[in-house]
Amino acid sequence: MGISFFYLPAASMAWGVLGHRIVGQIASTYLTPKAKAAIGKILGNESIAMASNWGDFIKSDPTYDSISAWHYVDIEPGLSKEAVIDFLNKDTAVDAYTKINFLVKQLKNGQLPAAKKQFYLKILIHLVEDIHQPLHVGRHEDMGGNKLKVSWFTMPSNLHRMWDEGLINFQELSYTEYAAAINFTTPLQRKEMQQKNLKAWIYDSYQVVDKIYAGIQPDEKLSYQYNYKFIAIVNQQLLKGGIHLASVLNEIFG
Ligand SMILES: [Zn+2]
């Protein structure tokens, strides 16, 4: 626990390109006008959706090697809610939880130089999205499912990649079509989701991890039934990610 590991180059990297953009696109629909204007000033012509992938793209640049451990938080399996919250309260590792807190604090400081502000904002967007991919909060022993090989129809894959992109790509929608298809909440749901904090969001993902591991076998051949079983949870995580990202951004800039 708390020991960092590297995703191998061949391993997949968090929500795939599409997943990140879907969350970013949904987030942009819940921003206050003030937050929207402030973010527009920082990102220029780039939308939140398109800026979402930058945190993964920079993994190809050795300059940014030190932030590879920012994308996930390792929490051991089988903990109660209280134990997860307690773990996070004491967490001092370099991980998604401590770095999201760091970035929020930095961005609330109006004195940041423009380049740094843009860097921090893009990474913050990416990391808040990442922690809603459940396999970014567990498990350490198989690198968030990267080491658990499965096949997806006829293609070799792994559990992590299934949740990054296998299920999402299977829907055959663009990110704007996908966001439009799932972005439905009631005002009450939005209020409830926004009242939770980062620790609760991580705990929500943590609970999904148990469901993902229940019954999965190494080398299992996954296909239509896996989509049927899990697509609603994937969509729920994408939607929650968008609403939560908007609430973080509104808190900072709104
Ligand atoms: Zn990532």
Count of the separate structural domains present in the chain: 1
Ligand 1 center–CA 130 separation, angstroms: 5
User: Considering the domain boundaries, does residue 96 fall inside one?
Assistant: yes
Ligand 1 center–CA 215 separation, angstroms: 26
Ligand 1 center–CA 147 separation, angstroms: 17
User: Considering the domain boundaries, does residue 241 fall inside one?
Assistant: yes
Radius of gyration of the chain (CA): 17
User: Considering the domain boundaries, does residue 166 fall inside one?
Assistant: yes
CATH number for the domain spanning 216: value is 1.10.575.10
Ligand 1 center–CA 3 separation, angstroms: 18
Supply the pLDDT for residue 3.
Answer: 41
Supply the pLDDT for residue 134.
Answer: 96
Ligand 1 center–CA 180 separation, angstroms: 23
Ligand 1 center–CA 216 separation, angstroms: 24
User: Considering the domain boundaries, does residue 8 fall inside one?
Assistant: no
111 burial (CB, 10 Å; 0-12 / 13-18 / 19+) is: exposed
- Joined together, the tokens standing for residue 157 give 């894959």
Q: For residue 220, what are the domain limits?
A: 17-253
Dump pLDDT digits (tens) for 87-115: 999 999 999 999 999 999 999 987 899 99
Ligand 1 center–CA 138 separation, angstroms: 14
Ligand 1 center–CA 160 separation, angstroms: 12
Supply the pLDDT for residue 13.
Answer: 54
Supply the pLDDT for residue 14.
Answer: 65
Query: Which pLDDT band holds residue 1 (cuts at 50, 70, 90)?
Result: very low
User: Considering the domain boundaries, does residue 5 fall inside one?
Assistant: no
Ligand 1 center–CA 15 separation, angstroms: 7
β-bridge mates for residue 201, sequence order: none
What contacts 209, CB < 8 A, 6 or more positions away? Answer: 77, 134, 135, 137, 138, 139
User: Considering the domain boundaries, does residue 246 fall inside one?
Assistant: yes
d(CA 192, CA 90): 26
238 burial (CB, 10 Å; 0-12 / 13-18 / 19+) is: buried
User: Considering the domain boundaries, does residue 3 fall inside one?
Assistant: no
Per-residue pLDDT, averaged over 8-33, amounts to: 83
Dump pLDDT digits (tens) for 124-181: 999 999 999 999 998 888 999 999 999 999 999 999 999 999 999 999 999 999 999 9
Per-residue pLDDT, averaged over 69-80, amounts to: 92
Dump pLDDT digits (tens) for 153-164: 999 999 999 999
Ligand 1 center–CA 205 separation, angstroms: 15
Dump pLDDT digits (tens) for 175-232: 999 999 999 999 999 888 888 899 999 999 999 999 999 989 999 999 999 999 999 9
User: Considering the domain boundaries, does residue 2 fall inside one?
Assistant: no
